[in-house]
Amino acid sequence: MKYPLIIAFEMSSYEDDAFPIATTWSLNNGQIKSTLISPDEEWLDQLYEQGDILETDPDTLIHEGHSPKSVMEELQLDMEDSPLYCLDPYMAEQAMTKICESMDREYDLMLRPAAELMASIPAAERELCRQECLGVLDLNERQSSDQVRLWLEMFVRLGADDQDN
């Protein structure tokens, strides 16, 4: 079975100027990659100026996270020629824009809404499957790794790979 590439982000806040602190994406073989993102100095300066507090300690992000550049390079290697689906198009574009700006590059990846993967499946059936997967697998929708795992599980359970996407 070939799985879709799905990406999700955790952001520093829900504001328009938020920056990515973690990302997770799936591979065509169903494996999942997840990493913290080491924040740019500008991102932290902005955070401190606004007096915001992160759920994750900034020192943890700095010491355990990967640079935006290394995250982007690895993602592009993993993508090959496959489309990249995102769970929240607005948040994903915001995160990718911040990552690319930190490298002085233009954002140029094409993101597709993950909902396209199951467009032919009735909404009620998708929601029932989503609720079941959340409960059975004890997933937290706020964590990027659980978001990707949820959508991959739904993809398999609903037989979305058999549908015409």
For residue 32, is it within any domain? yes
- The sign of the torsion formed by the CA atoms of 140, 142, 145, 151 equals positive
Q: What is the pLDDT of residue 52?
A: 64
Least confident window among 31-35, 40-44, 52-56, 140-144: 52-56
Say which CATH number the domain at 50 has.
3.30.420.10
Examine the pLDDT at 164 and tell me if it is beyond 50: no
Comparison of pLDDT for 149 and 48, the residue scoring more: 149
For residue 133, is it within any domain? no
Q: What is the pLDDT of residue 165?
A: 42
Examine the pLDDT at 147 and tell me if it is beyond 60: yes
Q: What is the pLDDT of residue 93?
A: 93
CB atoms within 10 A of CB 2: 8
User: Which strand (E) or helix (H) includes residue 10?
Assistant: strand 5-11
For residue 153, is it within any domain? no
Q: What is the pLDDT of residue 68?
A: 95
- Report the chain's mean pLDDT, rounded to a whole number: 89
Examine the pLDDT at 103 and tell me if it is beyond 80: yes
Q: For the chain, what's the residue count? A: 165
The number of distinct structural domains making up the chain is 1
Q: What is the pLDDT of residue 109?
A: 81
Range of the domain at 82: 5-116
For residue 130, is it within any domain? no
Mean pLDDT of 93-118: 90
Share of the chain above pLDDT 90, in %: 65
Examine the pLDDT at 138 and tell me if it is beyond 80: yes
pTM for the structure as a whole: 0.89
